[in-house]
Chain A
Amino acid sequence: MFAESAFDHVLDTPHWHIFEKVGFHLPLGLTKYMILMLVAALLIMAIYIPLAKKVQSGAPPRGRWWNAFESLLEFIRDQVAKPYMGHDADRYVPFLWTLFLFILFCNLLGMFPFMGSPTASFSVTLALAIITFCFIHGSAIAKLGVVHYFKSYIPHVEVPFGMGYVIIPMIVAIEIMGNFIKAFVLAVRLFANMFAGHMVLAFILLFIIMVRDADPGLFWGVTGASVLGVTALSLLELFVAFLQAYIFTFLTALFLGSALHPEH
């Protein structure tokens, strides 16, 4: 029973649990993570559209609040996009910003009580990875043209005795498979980090309920230790939320750079 409740804490469900016996059921087949993804998107729009309007008028943003959010964007543009994508980074930076901000806000929504992080669902991260994959290869095809793009997979190998005829098709196949695998691994990495983190938090809190039913004498000790442990792990979760958003965006920039500039 308890294993299922810990899983239920992280799985996507149309029944939004608030307390142990209180919750509400979402209509129309909507689920909790769908609503939370919309919340994340609306939050991003509510914060960044006013910021963009301020910056458009030429004046730099003042105050810690605006500067903090602008520094996120600046970090992605200067430390992630420009070093790995070269001179035409500015065209693709908005996509990287969207990716980073959406994943970051989705991860951070899991830190609030009664909410969850939509990226703890494999469907969400797989969708993000598919979008990223299509964007990377679509941009490369748009920039290089279809023929030149497929030609960029063929390496130049200096191998004697016609071995090139055997090796080059193998390398092409490995490269193409590698593209699919890299996108899939992006999805699994983000999903596993968020899913495992929140499941572990739920398990440790579940110990309190287990001890209440099994051995009430230990209740206060276990509660204290459990709450302290969950606090420390939540700090780690906060760090992992930022780190995983950064890693997803960084790897996307890396793959974009290598797809757009096959000569490197």
Chain B
Amino acid sequence: MNMKTLGLFCLALLGVLCSSSMVMAQDKIGAGAASFYGPHIGAGLGAGLAIIGAGLGFGKIGAAALESMARQPETAGRVQTAMLIIAALLEGATFFSLIVCIILAGK
């Protein structure tokens, strides 16, 4: 990468950094009347149900992984890697519902 490309790149970076100040000019929306508790109850229930699903899922993943490691100890390394990957994907799905609950609780 020669100096001209590097200079153009730095200029573009600076331009992007300076122009995003316009995005920051949003006000925070204030909370509405607190006498309607529906969203908050929904958020709590949703979080609880989501963690039930996550707990059951992780339990099944762990049980299957441990069982296969016990049956074939020589594949234990690969089984452990696969278990972590599946657990991370399941956690991602759980966080989807968590985001919905946080949005609800903020209303």
Contacts and interface: CB of A to CB of B under 8 A. Distances in A.
A192 B96 contact: yes
B20 interface: yes
Interface in B1-48: 17-18, 20-22, 24
Contacts of B20: 29, 34
B21 A28 contact: yes
Interface stretch (A49-57, A110-118, A131-139, A243-251): A243-251
B75 to A, nearest CB: 15
Classify the interface of chain B: helix, strand, loop or mixed.
Answer: helix
The range of chain B's interface size is 10 to 19
Given A34-B17, A247-B85, A247-B88, A29 B95 contact: no
B21 A196 contact: no
Interface string B64-107: 00000000000000000000110011011001101100000000
Nearest to B84: A243
Contact of A192 (B17, B22, B89, B98): B98
Contact of B95 (A28, A30, A196, A250): A196
Interface residues of A, number: 16
Interface in A237-264: 243-244, 247, 250
A222 B21 CA distance: 40
A28 B19 CA distance: 9
A189 interface: yes
A193 B91 contact: yes
A247 B24 contact: no
Nearest to A122: B99
Interface of A: 14, 28-31, 34, 185, 188-189, 192-193, 196, 243-244, 247, 250
